[in-house]
Amino acid sequence: MKFHFNKPNRENRHSVMLLDEIHKFSLLHFRNFPFMPKLKQSAFCILIATFAFFATAHASDEIPSKKQKHPIALTGGTVHTVSGETLVNATLLFEKGKITAIGTIMTLPDSTEKIDISGKHVYPGLISANSRVGLLEIAAVRATRDYAEVTAIKPNVRVESALNPDSELLPVTRANGITLTHTIPMGGLISGTSAMVMMDGWTWEDLTLRAPIGLYINWPNMAPFRRNSTEKQKIEFLKKRDEQITHLKNAFADARAYLKAKEAESNKKITYHESDIRWEAMMPVLNKEIPVLLEARGIKEIQASIDWALSEDLDIILMTGADVRFAIDLLKENNIPVIYKGTLALPSQRWEPYDTPFTVPRQLYNAGVRFCISGSGTAFAAAHERNLPYHAAMAVAFGLPQEEALKSVTLYPAQILGVADLVG
């Protein structure tokens, strides 16, 4: 059993309040009775410490669910299949942790446990397509952050091995219907590969549904953030930007040269090349087995990053915000799917209407661009991943059909991220 201390969450807040009262009581009476024997004082302090230990340990005990022992059927409810029609007064049967049958009329196994859910609705688990859940606890506490490695080029970083199965964010996220997160590393230009992560398990292997999902690339900013930058600052910025883009291009050139050399090793006339884990990690990308997760902030970054990806002949998934509305034709022309980050956001420019971020999903849907909705994906947002349904709901309030909003956080992310054969 694992014990966690000093976590005054909703479960143990009453214990903490009680301990505070006991502490105040002990201080008051120790001051009023200085003649109290030291032995009794020590015993009382030990009693308080023991009580505190067991109170906090019990309150934070997180135990993964047990394996399903017999079939379970949910009967009488409304089942939203998302990929098909909605079934009223339906039965949903699952065995060994997997859904095996859905319908209005079916024969159940003899050992099936029936649970009546009349008047209730059943939806697929939601998928957060852009998350850092599992890689940190408190963004402000460095010791709890494990989402970024050093150096700019690190395609060999595999995010799944850094997952923390004891994270308090897993049950919080799961409690609001999110059963899967697409967890992505951060830092540098090429940050590493992502993983599709479940919200329950003893180890990181238990949490990992599939990995790698894609290679994450953080495209450099194309223009300075500050409009009042001096001429010297602008020159320095542009120089650094060009160096970063050159560094990125060189990394792919080196990876392609490495791939070519490894393929030629069967020829005895070719010198043997030692393995390089960086370029080995990029082989699935160059062979189009997994896509590039291309994060671009504004329209300039979107256009530049897509031009580069097309020149490299890469399969890409664009991760971006409201400026994607300016690139709809480019996305349609090249059949590029989008992970739309943060419907619940403020406009990026002063002149933009307040509802600009809210209306983008509707614009993507009307234009026929493949997309899914996610949170902002920042380290700070990991603690608030539970808000994913509200991002989709806001899009509905501003014109996105309700059915499409539901698909944008269930079926569509599964299809875009290549796990639709398992979930969605």
- pLDDT of 116 reads 95
Task: Please work out, in degrees rounded to the nearest 5, the angle formed at the alpha carbon of residue 325 by the alpha carbons of 320 and 330.
Answer: 90
pLDDT tens-digit profile of 250-291? Answer: 999 999 999 988 888 766 666 667 889 999 999 999 999 999
Dist CA 249 CA 252 (whole Å): 5
Q: Which two tokens stand for residue 121?
A: 């609705």
Residue 384 lies in domain: 125-424
Dist CA 369 CA 359 (whole Å): 14
CB burial readout 285-322, b (16+ within 10 A) else e: bbeeebbbbbbbbbbebbbbbbebbeebebebbbbbbb
Q: What CATH number is associated with residue 231?
A: 3.20.20.140
- The yes-or-no verdict on residue 81 having pLDDT over 90 is yes
- pLDDT of 261 reads 85
Name the phi and psi angles at 202, rounded to 5.
-80, -35
Q: Which comes out higher in pLDDT, residue 97 or 126?
A: 126
Instruction: Indicate if 25 and 158 belong to the same structural domain.
Output: no
pLDDT tens-digit profile of 217-226? Answer: 999 999 887 6
- Return the bridge partners of 128, or none: 181
Instruction: Indicate if 150 and 281 belong to the same structural domain.
Output: yes
Instruction: Indicate if 282 and 405 belong to the same structural domain.
Output: yes
- pLDDT of 26 reads 46
Dist CA 195 CA 176 (whole Å): 21
pLDDT tens-digit profile of 323-348? Answer: 999 999 999 999 999 999 989 999 98
Instruction: Indicate if 180 and 292 belong to the same structural domain.
Output: yes
What is the number of domains present in the chain? 3
Instruction: Indicate if 319 and 381 belong to the same structural domain.
Output: yes
> Predicted confidence band at 60 (pLDDT cuts at 50, 70, 90)?
low
Dist CA 244 CA 276 (whole Å): 22
Dist CA 82 CA 372 (whole Å): 14
Q: What CATH number is associated with residue 82?
A: 2.30.40.10
Instruction: Indicate if 253 and 312 belong to the same structural domain.
Output: yes
Instruction: Indicate if 192 and 51 belong to the same structural domain.
Output: no
Which amino acid appears at position 381 of this protein? A
